[in-house]
Amino acid sequence: MACRTSFLKAILIILNVLLSLIGVTLIALSVFELNSSSPGTFEHIAIVVQIFVGSFVVLSSFLGCFAAGRVSLGLIWSFVSCMLLLIGLQIYIIAAAHSTDYVQRARTDFLALWTDQRRSIERIAYLEHKYSCCGQNGPQDYILQGGAYPLSCYKNRERVQSQLFGEGCLVAVEEHSTDNVMNGLIIKWLLLVVELLALISATHLGVTVRNKLRRERF
């Protein structure tokens, strides 16, 4: 019985360390993407939700490690409750991610920025510099509007023709959104698998500790 308890404790601690690492990774990636999203857009809201989930995962992993270390029945069942809540939230998020067209959302958000260029000029310049792109469909968009290429359309912001970005930002934004969706789904599925394993391990540990306490009473 002691060997089984020690084994379950070790497994639970390992899984919680892995959970914390995934949670920190999710937070770091979300914070990085937060800087490139427009406030109020669908992408911005989704990133904020990811930061909340990542924070909850990290806090839950600390609780799991503490519960395993102390072998406290109350802490173990508290951790199990947290895992059930997280698993339910993860299933909902994954289902929503598979049913949502993030590429179309990103396309719509960029077109809204391009339509109102006067108010969104700084935002468009940021995207052009970040994705090495120029205009909506290419540099010619600025010429068609009777203007000149902005500095954000040049590499290193130097007006040298050879350093002019040739790709349009609409395509760049869609490609970036596609990569984000794939990376996000991989992390979400990995997180769900680890959460399920942690739930199973914690439940077994809780049952083992409870049965041990019952035997000690008689």
Instruction: Determine if the pTM surpasses 0.85.
Output: no
Q: How confident is the model at residue 2 (pLDDT cuts 50, 70, 90)?
A: low
- Rounded Cα distance between 134 and 166, Å, is 7
Mean pLDDT, to the nearest integer, of 56-64? 94
For residue 173, the tally of other CB atoms under 10 A from its CB is 24
At residue 150, the pLDDT reads 92
44 compared with 155, residue with greater pLDDT:
155
Q: How confident is the model at residue 154 (pLDDT cuts 50, 70, 90)?
A: very high
Q: How confident is the model at residue 218 (pLDDT cuts 50, 70, 90)?
A: low
Q: How confident is the model at residue 36 (pLDDT cuts 50, 70, 90)?
A: low
152 compared with 216, residue with greater pLDDT:
152
E runs forming strands in the chain = none
**DSSP code, position 154:** B
Q: Which residues pair with 164 in a beta bridge?
A: 154
Check whether 160 has a pLDDT greater than 80. yes
For residue 172, the tally of other CB atoms under 10 A from its CB is 19
How far, CA to CA in Å, does 80 sit from each of 4, 67, 142?
19, 10, 57
Q: How confident is the model at residue 56 (pLDDT cuts 50, 70, 90)?
A: very high
Check whether 1 has a pLDDT greater than 70. no
Q: How confident is the model at residue 37 (pLDDT cuts 50, 70, 90)?
A: low
* Sign of the torsion formed by the C-alpha atoms of 70, 18, 205 and 7: negative
